[in-house]
Chains A and B, each alone.
Chain A
Amino acid sequence: MQKRLNKEVLPKLNELGTEIYRQLEGGEFPRIKLPGRTTSNIIFNEELNQFILGDQKAVRSASNIKQIRSLTQLLWVASFAKRLVSEGKSSTLRDLYYHSLNYGIKFREQLESDDTVADLEALMTEPREAFNIFPKERSAIFGDLSIEYTTPETHKGKKANLGSNPDGVMVGLSVAQADFLSCSANKVFVIEKNAVFRRFIEERVYEKFNALLIDTAGQAPRLARLLIRRLNLELGLPVYLLTDADPWGMHIAMVIIRGSANAAHLRELTTSAARWVGLWATDIKRFNLPSFPLTKLDEQRIRLLEWDMRYRDFEWQSELQEFKKTKRRTELESFSAHGLTAIVEKYLPKKLKMIADMS
């Protein structure tokens, strides 16, 4: 979506409306088919190195009492998206949920309206961002990267340097879709935690390692994943991922590399060349880090990931086994036990060398 105008979704939306209109005029119950998003239809594709949807189709028919409501909701989301795109406005998932209340479209909770948006994505094979519907933004970028905005109209052609704000610049639609002008960095550090992201800025990691810094604030939002992918593909920058040493942290890295099951209906969000540099389960011993016992939930999660197709590679499996053996986890902040700069001065160089040796 990065380079194209999202006006391209308009004909698709029009087509959907015309088809329903035709069915109604003919005295038929309107019905549509969309790719099924149930677990059984989510398949790992080796070639794309990500999850994709299989051939199963889900039907939304007005003749079925159980489906007519969700069909109506889907059509409302579509007409809402059409208005956003054609008027050049944007909205968030939360905003969309509140809008629905004006239209007699009852979503029981925001989860339901979010899910309907995913249905529209699957039906149109376009991410919601193409319809100007965005999740809550929380990721940020910092570093010497000059961009030129392509959207919105008001900022088109304007230029900015992402190193100008010491808090980092929020990764929104405009940043994610901007043209890259110039970049002095030669790598990207993606960090799970805002506290560590700030530490990296304070410690001038961007200078010392000649890197761009991205803060995902937990699981990476789609726009952040898109930006990471573009930095990797368009600028050829190697991407290094830094997360906590627990099953949740390693999964944040995994989703950036191989995508999530939730977005199996979308392509071009993954960065398969990105490398997870830590914290690994084995780093706890390696760097003598303070650690905590795994919770029950952690252990369940580990058992689940063991069978996940995305984790079948040796390095990932061996980290999972290490968790199972030690039953300990730790966080990026634990390096503070070795002094404020330990993570930057001791850990990073050592891990980067390890990664380089491995490949």
Chain B
Amino acid sequence: MSGEKFKSISAADFFYKNKEIAGFDNPVRATYTIMRELVENALDACEQYSILPEVRVKLIDEGNSIYKLKVEDNGIGVPYEQVPYAFAQILFGSKYTLRQSRGIFGLGGKMAILYGQITTHSTVKVMSSTGGFEKYSYELNINIQENRPVIRRKEVGPNPGRWRGTIVQFSFEGDYIRAKPKVVEYFKQTSILLPYANILFVDPDGVLYRFDRITDVMPKPAEEVQPHPHGIDVEGVQRMINASRSSTVLDFMANNFHRVGIATALNFLKSIKIEPQANPKTLQSKELLTLVSRMKEYDEFQPPDAQCLSPIGTDLLKAGIMREFRPEFVAVTQRGASAYSGYPFIVEAAIAYGGNIPITPPDEMSVFRYANKIPLLYDLHSDVAMKVIKKINWQRYRLDLSTMPVAFFIHICATKVPYKTVGKEYIADRPEVEYEIEWALKTCAREVKMHLAKKEKASIVQRRLTVFEKYLPLISRFATELAGVESQPNVEKVLKRLQTHAKEVEQRSTPQAE
């Protein structure tokens, strides 16, 4: 081994050499991933601060497979001095707290910019303002070997309109023509989950895709929380100790972990026989290992709670589905918070029936999957949601997926989404997650079943009434002719009896819970 030379490589260099792992394996995929990452950053910049999102995206064909992308948002803006790091240094801004957001470190956006730089040798232009008196423009490159931003040009100007937001613009090599179906589908599905956002996309052919806000209501933003003791590893704890100013293990536990207070920490430390008053910085690595491994096993910790999550809520989910599909009926449900490995998560689901929902063959079912508000467009058949859908006996709910217009919507929000791969494509079948999805869908299915039963009953009763209303006047007329009298008998009495009867039937048919 002596001939081998070891040298550290920068994070930027690492991604440069391994770009396929983040979804940049080919120009088609890269086009989709780049657009998605930038749009997600734009939406996060708005939603985390309860700003109603206005996101405009423009893609221009510059020839030779080069495209120029411009994404504009009205989000919180990036502070003047942080712009170079936020856009041209990989892994900037790592944090020890957790909350639900689309991306964890803003990594994807920077990967996209890096990909643009290495394929077109051009700079990224960023204009931003936090809404103060100034707005500022940068032109940046990434120094790949040293993972550091290179400022090519910078300019500060007045901001008389107090504009706030960020505009990012850069070029990359891609293939929009073949990426188009996925890109358009991405915008469509994103808008379903975000009925409070205005999203505009102009594609290279000049086609405008516009998704208008239909409500001003937004879900509450996720709060940052400390990590839960069930969801942390030795490296994480070591870093937290290094950053902590606590002088005792007891304080360290009580101050740095989600749902851990003095009492819980004391009980826990006693049970693993670590001196509560010990200085955390002097813990032996063996003791540290014990601490962390016992933390994962200890079941007296309170489960994580969901304040760090930002579910979309049943009303908004319903509104989004209604806008896109105008279904005849939609059942929406939100499960209570649950957790896997110390990461809290919430499952929301909906089943829509009829309207513009298409009838699909069994292998192309309408299943809309979201994780932390990101639509998942690839690998449906590997996803846990599909596993659950295949498992459920839909006949029990009077649903026949191959002949009925049914669509499924599943949103999982979590501080850490259990993706199976780096590319945010599908969700692993964690038993806790599977269980929640199954019950969410079954709850919706029950409602759909009740709707269908009600509809069937109502249509039978209505059909009967129509028949009676058609024939009774005729009977009355012919009877009058036969009897040879002048005026017709009053059929209202009989019709009234019928209508009362119809109402009774309807009430009787009001479905009971299973």
Contact = CB atoms under 8 A, between A and B. Distances in A.
Q: Do A and B bind each other?
A: yes
Interface of A: 13-14, 16-18, 20-21, 24-25, 27-30, 62, 65, 68-69, 71-72, 75-76, 78-79, 82-83, 103-105
A68 B480 contact: no
Contacts of A105: 474
B474 A24 contact: no
Given A24-B491, A29-B494, A17 B472 contact: no
Contacts of B493: 27
B490 A78 contact: no
Contacts of B467: 65, 68-69
Nearest to A104: B474
Contacts of A72: 471, 474-475, 478
Contacts of A65: 464, 467-468
Contacts of A71: 471, 475
Contacts of B483: 14, 17-18, 20-21
Contacts of B513: none
B481 interface: yes
A71 B470 CA distance: 13
A21 to B, nearest CB: 5
A128 B483 CA distance: 20
A71 B468 CA distance: 12
25 contacts: A13-B482, A16-B482, A17-B481, A18-B483, A20-B475, A20-B479, A20-B482, A20-B483, A24-B475, A27-B494, A29-B497, A62-B468, A65-B464, A68-B471, A69-B467, A69-B471, A71-B471, A72-B474, A72-B478, A75-B475, A75-B482, A79-B478, A79-B482, A83-B481, A104-B470
A82 B470 CA distance: 23
A328 to B, nearest CB: 54
A75 B475 CA distance: 7
Interface string B456-481: 00000000100110111011101111
Interface in B475-507: 475-476, 478-485, 489-491, 493-494, 497
A17 B475 contact: no
Nearest to A103: B474
B479 A24 contact: yes
A99 B141 CA distance: 90
B93 to A, nearest CB: 72
A22 to B, nearest CB: 8
Nearest to A74: B478
Contacts of A25: 489-490
Interface string B306-337: 00000000000000000000000000000000
A25 B481 CA distance: 15
Given A13-B482, A21-B489, 9 more contacts: A14-B482, A14-B483, A17-B479, A17-B480, A21-B479, A24-B490, A27-B494, A65-B467, A104-B474
B494 A24 contact: yes
A3 B475 CA distance: 33
Contacts of B482: 13-14, 16-18, 20, 75, 78-79, 82
A17 B476 CA distance: 9
Contacts of B478: 17, 20, 72, 75-76, 78-79
Nearest to B476: A24
A205 to B, nearest CB: 49
Contacts of B474: 72, 75-76, 103-105
Contacts of B491: 24
B475 A28 contact: no
Contacts of B475: 20, 24, 30, 62, 68, 71-72, 75
Contact of A79 (B471, B481, B489): B481
A104 B478 CA distance: 12
Nearest to B464: A65
A13 B483 CA distance: 8
A82 B482 CA distance: 7
A16 B467 CA distance: 23
A17 B480 CA distance: 6
A30 B479 CA distance: 10
B471 A62 contact: yes
A16 B475 CA distance: 12
Contacts of A79: 478, 481-482
Contacts of A24: 475-476, 479, 489-491, 494
A72 B473 CA distance: 10
Interface centre among A13, A20, A83, A104 (most CB of B within 10 A): A20
A30 B491 CA distance: 10
Contacts of B484: 14, 17
